[in-house]
């Protein structure tokens, strides 16, 4: 049965944030947590079982493009190569509802990269709970949108996630209802931005 942690959506309680971080670090927990674009599944980068559990829950194969949810632009730069043309545009768009696909650095385990392109998705969400969690954790979360098989929208409320995935995840964070609109995905792996998915972030800034 998943633990249920109720965090204030604007001022998350440090004591409860530390409980979540402890579960991630010491128990290799798989968590469901709110972002600025719906709920996501997340675990530590080194949690192999957590990665596999995400694939099972979402009925995905090994080619799935995972996302590293980062605290800030500096942390993002440790895990992907950001060339000069992309640097200014990406920094101006973050934090926000964008996911960027970029070439991975050696800091990223091969199992988390696209098997052929050696790329990985990265994003910096604009949500107080996620920011507090990432600040306390000190590393990115390996994440995937909580989009269940046959569904077209991510979950938006913690209690619904708890009911649906009570025996599939280890911990669910509740922080009020969030928007279900997904991130806008920009593939910048080939030197020029390509809009892969239109979502909550305005794609116009990346279109010629």
Reported as a single tens digit per residue, the pLDDT across 13-72 is 999 999 999 999 999 999 999 999 999 999 999 999 999 999 999 999 877 888 999 999
Angle between helices 128-137 and 14-26 (to 10 degrees): 50
pLDDT of the residue at 29: 98
With 90 as the cut, is the pLDDT of residue 151 above it?
no
CB 51 within 8 A of CB 190: no
174-207 pLDDT tens trace? 999 888 888 999 999 988 999 999 988 999 988 8
Mean pLDDT of 105-123: 91
Mean pLDDT of 159-168: 95
Kind plus residue range of the DSSP H or E element containing 28? none
Mean pLDDT of 143-159: 90
Cα(44)–Cα(143) distance, rounded to whole angstroms?
Answer: 9
pLDDT of the residue at 182: 87
With 90 as the cut, is the pLDDT of residue 85 above it?
no
pLDDT of the residue at 115: 80
Tokens encoding 152: 């077209």
Percent of the chain with pLDDT over 90: 78
Percent of the chain with pLDDT over 70: 100
154: which residues sit within 8 A by CB, 6+ positions away?
A: 37, 38, 39, 40, 145, 146, 147, 180, 182
Q: 3-206 in CATH: which number?
A: 3.90.870.10
From residue 136, alpha-carbon distances to 15, 119, 192, 196, 197 in Å are 11, 26, 34, 32, 31
pLDDT of the residue at 208: 64
Mean pLDDT of the chain: 93
pLDDT of the residue at 160: 94
Mean pLDDT of 110-134: 92
């Amino acid at each position: 049965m998943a633990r249920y942690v109720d965090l204030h959506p604007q001022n998350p309680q440090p004591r409860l944030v530390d409980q979540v971080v402890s579960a991630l670090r010491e128990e290799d927990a798989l968590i469901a947590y709110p972002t600025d674009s719906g709920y996501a599944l997340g675990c530590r980068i080194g949690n192999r079982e957590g990665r596999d559990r995400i694939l099972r829950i979402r009925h995905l194969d090994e080619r799935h493009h995972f996302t590293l949810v980062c605290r800030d632009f500096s942390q993002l730069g440790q895990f992907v190569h950001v060339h000069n043309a992309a640097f200014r545009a990406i920094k101006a768009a973050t934090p926000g509802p964008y996911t960027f696909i970029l070439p991975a650095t050696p800091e990223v385990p091969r199992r988390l990269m696209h098997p052929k392109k050696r790329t990985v998705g990265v994003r910096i969400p604009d949500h107080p709970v996620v920011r507090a969690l990432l600040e306390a954790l000190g590393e990115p979360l390996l994440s995937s949108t909580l989009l269940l098989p046959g569904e077209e929208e991510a979950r938006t409320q913690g209690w619904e996630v708890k009911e649906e995935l009570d025996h599939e995840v280890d911990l669910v964070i509740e922080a009020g209802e969030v928007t279900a609109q997904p991130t806008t995905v920009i593939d910048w792996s080939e030197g020029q931005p390509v809009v892969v998915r239109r979502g909550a972030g305005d794609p116009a800034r990346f279109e010629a």
